[in-house]
Amino acid sequence: MDSFLVCRLRAKEENEIVSLIDQHALHERIRLEELWKGMLAVFDCIILSVLILKRALGIRDGHGWLRPGLVIPSLQVELPVDLLFQVSQFEEQFLRLGLQFSLNEKAMSVTHVPFVLKDKHLRDLDRNSLRNDISVFVQEAIQIFTEASAVAPIVPPIIMDWVATAACRGAIMFGDKIPEAEVGQFLTAGQRTSLPFQCAHGRPSMLPVAVLLPPSERCQVR
């Protein structure tokens, strides 16, 4: 039972609800939002051109841009000619997503990638794997740029998926116990997240099991 916390929750004037909280799932959500804050490079000054790009990327006001990570030496990523042409049309948008490069007739020479991609490959230092991820990232990003709809994702799925995976790997494991003195702080951190009822992958983090009636409505035991 160390994997769950039993809590009494109250929503405004409603009755209290006894819920089981999956501590791994809630910690995953906490870590997800902390990781995103570290991946974003927030600009203090917002000018008109930035606002236009935000709308094109589906990024709401108040969100930052993806922080870039330096690639040494630069990485050559070969792409089809038609895709290279599309890339050339969206250089500013890619810059806001942390991808910096120069183009030639056959490839893009990448000098910076979104920090989250660099972080993903720090341990294995597999440049071929990074090259493949950049290719996927570029294709997903172009799809976002060309759709430019109100429901478009903020960043390409490959980025979102890896951040969710990192959040999961660093969360408290099943069977581990949170020290009793830290439970209150843990629940408060979860309450402050944007979606405390979902883990990083969208699964529920808590399950209501009973509704507690007000004392006046409870049966009196004599």
Could you state, in order of their start, the residue ranges of all structural domains in the chain? 4-33+171-217, 47-168
Q: What is the pLDDT of residue 17?
A: 85
Tokens standing for residue 30: 């906490």
Judge whether 112 and 99 are in contact, CB under 8 Å.
yes
Q: Average the pLDDT over each of 3-12, 157-166, 190-199 and give the range with the smallest value.
A: 3-12
pTM of the model as a whole: 0.73
Tell me, what DSSP letter sits at residue 11?
-
> pLDDT tens digit string along 24-46?
999 999 998 888 887 776 443 33
> Closest Cα partner for 115 from 126, 103, 100, 135?
100
Tell me, what DSSP letter sits at residue 217?
G
Domain 47-168 has CATH 3.40.50.620: no
> Closest Cα partner for 201 from 2, 21, 24, 9?
24
Q: Is the pLDDT of residue 61 over 50?
A: no
Q: Average the pLDDT over each of 29-43, 96-110, 207-221 and give the range with the smallest value.
A: 207-221
The rounded distance, in Å, linking the Cα atoms of 170 and 159 is 17
The CATH code for residues 4-33+171-217 is 3.30.1540.20
